[in-house]
């Protein structure tokens, strides 16, 4: 047996169950999900409950002020549905206005970067259309964490500490997230009464309490005071979108992703390119494998940043990008021995991903994000809501598919993944947090599972690599001789920690042929998988 099939140093085992299962990056959120399943909820209910809990437990990663997406597998019909819970640009955000401000590129933070937060509406729509339990029941754990407090976990505390400078720039953010003038330490109890009141309003009145009333007015006013354009009308007009997932086959497994403006097309394009190589003949930690995945990523991301945007504002060549014929042309450009040059814009990296499979076999893959850590850095006064900076990914280039326009959804990094077998049965729900790492992580995770036959926890633990802005980051567990070989091929290599934060955090539930749920949860995060 090859070395990579031995348990990695993360020390975790695959979690098995025969009924429901959840995987999430925080144990308390995972517990909330499994309790929803115990109470008769389904996979969608469990994911909404976990996402809401994470909005409190991981406030720099996700929140009510962010966006969300899901993929849902219906066991009764075999159908797969997608829900786009991202918000559009404010009506006042135009190229003309940005240029009048002297901008040639979008700022990373501040009011100008705030787009309509879509998560809360999406939670309600997912629950109403797919779920079984009342929305208020699903938000109860999140309310409890906000009102009564929770001990801050270690990874979250590390992220929080790194964001102190950003939070001090906004008075409401500093009051909300820096009690005593500093970030909480690991294990320190943190309460958020303002957010508890906001959650309670949604529990009582539904999503309308967030997109209107006092909460909506505070959000719009706080954004305008921070130099942005978001209005009460923008909030009131927001709706989620039910979408048809896009997919491709990889060695007999069909992989499904959310369509543009999400970057799921890049993950599928990478898999199409890699399918033409005999990866299983290469060692899973070899420079040869890593090189091929890095080169496939460069080609897919060239297309992503040049051709993908909101399809409601222009035609996106999705079918061409996902065709096997197109992949063959791209594959022919890859040298087996030399790295190609690549350039790309920087993208944010803070997100929460979670997934669930219920006793009936329904599967939900769910992702929620503020984009960069603590998003825009703007907190709506009196609400506890930190607002996302998703608008920072717009390109101030006339005619670009990702140029800002009123109501336009920006290119989105967050992507839930779902895979089915040839007969249509659910094979896995999965995701990898971390901005531009996400498509790379999807491809690497699936190659681990399919080409190398790893079990879910091995596939999640296995050393990952991250190509971004011209640098190939390797986790420290990649052998030094393979790092040197990659340098010889022309890659600019950086070796990080054994479990490096930029390589993202994965959660995975694999449904085996006998119906057993096999779950993996990333040791790079605080969370766990639980199963009934």
- 351 in active site: yes
Cβ atoms 509, 445 nearer than 8 A: no
SS3 category, 317: coil
Cis peptide before 261 (omega within 30 of 0): yes
Q: 30-87 pLDDT, tens per residue?
A: 999 999 999 999 999 999 999 999 999 999 999 999 999 999 999 999 999 999 999 9
| 392 DSSP 8-state letter | G
- Element holding 28 (H helix, E strand): helix 27-38
| Mean per-residue pLDDT over the chain, rounded | 95
Alpha carbons 264 and 258: distance in angstroms, whole number: 6
DSSP 3-state assignment of 257? strand
3-class secondary structure, 24:
strand
What pLDDT does 11 receive?
A: 75
Distance in angstroms (rounded) separating the CA atoms of residues 253 and 22: 22
Residues 281, 288: Cα–Cα separation, whole Å = 10
Give the ranges where 184-281 is alpha helix by DSSP (H): 193-205, 208-211, 213-225, 232-237, 264-274
**pLDDT tens across 89-144, in order?**
999 999 999 999 999 999 999 999 999 999 999 999 999 999 999 999 999 999 99
Residues 6 or more apart from 490 whose CB is under 8 A from it? 338, 339
Which residue's structure tokens are 């009131």?
Answer: 236
Is 249:256 a contact under the CB 8 Å cutoff?
Answer: no
CA–CA separation, 220 vs 230, rounded Å?
5
pLDDT at 10: 57
Q: If we measure between CA atoms, which residue out of 531, 45, 444, 495 comes closest to residue 255? A: 444
Nearest to 522 by CA among 354, 363, 357: 354
The structure's pTM equals: 0.95
| Cβ-contact 242, 230 below 8 angstroms | no
State the Cα–Cα distance between residues 314 and 260, nearest whole angstrom: 11
The pLDDT of residue 2 is 45
Residue located via tokens 């070899």: 286
Report the pLDDT value the prediction gives residue 231, as an integer from 0 to 100: 97
Among left, alpha and beta (phi > 0; psi -120 to 50; other), residue 127 is alpha
> Which parts of the chain have pLDDT scores under 50?
1-9
Q: Please identify which of the residues 351, 383, 413, 503 carries the catalytic annotation.
A: 351
Helices 213-225 and 193-205 meet at what angle, rounded to 10? 130
Strands 417-420 and 426-433: antiparallel
């Amino acid at each position: 047996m090859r070395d990579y099939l031995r348990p990695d140093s993360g020390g975790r085992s695959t979690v098995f169950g025969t009924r429901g299962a959840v995987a999430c990056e925080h144990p308390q959120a995972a517990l909330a999900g499994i309790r929803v399943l115990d109470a008769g909820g389904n996979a969608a209910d469990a994911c909404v409950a976990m996402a809401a809990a994470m909005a409190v437990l991981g406030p720099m990663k996700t929140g009510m002020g962010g966006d969300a997406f899901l993929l849902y597998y219906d066991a009764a019909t075999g159908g797969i549905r997608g829900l786009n819970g991202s918000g559009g640009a404010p009506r006042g955000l135009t190229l003309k206005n940005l240029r009048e401000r002297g901008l040639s590129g979008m700022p990373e933070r501040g009011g100008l970067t705030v787009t309509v937060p879509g998560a809360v509406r999406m939670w309600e729509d997912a629950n109403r259309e797919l779920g079984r339990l009342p929305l208020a029941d699903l938000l109860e754990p999140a309310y409890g964490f906000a009102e009564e407090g929770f001990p801050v976990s270690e990874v979250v505390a590390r992220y929080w500490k790194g964001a102190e400078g950003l939070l001090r720039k906004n008075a409401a953010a500093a009051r909300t997230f820096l009690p005593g003038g500093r970030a909480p330490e690991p294990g320190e109890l943190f309460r958020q009464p303002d957010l508890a009141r906001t959650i309670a309003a949604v529990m009582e009145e539904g999503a309308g309490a967030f997109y209107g009333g006092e909460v909506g007015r505070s959000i719009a006013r706080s954004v305008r005071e921070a130099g942005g354009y978001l209005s009460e009308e923008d909030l009131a007009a927001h709706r989620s979108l039910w979408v048809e997932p896009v997919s491709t086959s990889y060695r007999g497994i069909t992989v499904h992703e959310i369509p543009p403006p999400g970057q799921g097309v890049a993950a599928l394009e990478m898999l199409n390119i890699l399918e033409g190589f005999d990866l299983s003949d290469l060692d899973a930690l070899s420079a040869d494998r890593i090189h091929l995945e890095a080169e496939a990523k460069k080609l897919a991301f060239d297309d992503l940043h040049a051709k993908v945007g909101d399809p409601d504002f222009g035609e996106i060549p999705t079918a061409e990008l996902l065709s096997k014929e197109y992949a063959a042309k791209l594959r022919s450009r890859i040298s087996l021995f030399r790295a190609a040059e690549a350039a790309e814009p920087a993208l944010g990296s803070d997100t929460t991903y979670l997934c669930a499979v219920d006793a009936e076999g329904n599967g939900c893959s769910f992702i929620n994000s503020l984009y960069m850590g603590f998003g825009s850095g703007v907190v709506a006064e009196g609400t506890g809501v930190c607002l996302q900076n998703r608008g920072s990914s717009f390109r101030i280039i006339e005619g670009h598919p990702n140029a800002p326009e009123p109501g336009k959804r920006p290119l989105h990094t967050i992507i839930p993944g779902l895979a089915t077998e040839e007969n249509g049965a659910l094979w896995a729900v999965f995701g990898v947090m971390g901005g531009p790492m996400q498509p790379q992580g999807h491809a690497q995770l699936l190659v681990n599972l399919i080409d190398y036959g790893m079990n879910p926890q091995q596939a999640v633990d296995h050393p990952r690599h991250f190509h971004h802005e011209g640098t190939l980051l390797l986790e420290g567990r990649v052998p030094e001789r393979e790092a040197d070989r990659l340098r010889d091929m022309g890659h600019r290599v950086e070796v990080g920690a054994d479990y490096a934060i930029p390589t993202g955090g994965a959660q995975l539930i694999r449904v085996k042929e006998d119906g057993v749920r096999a779950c993996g949860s990333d040791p790079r995060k605080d969370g766990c998988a639980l199963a009934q």
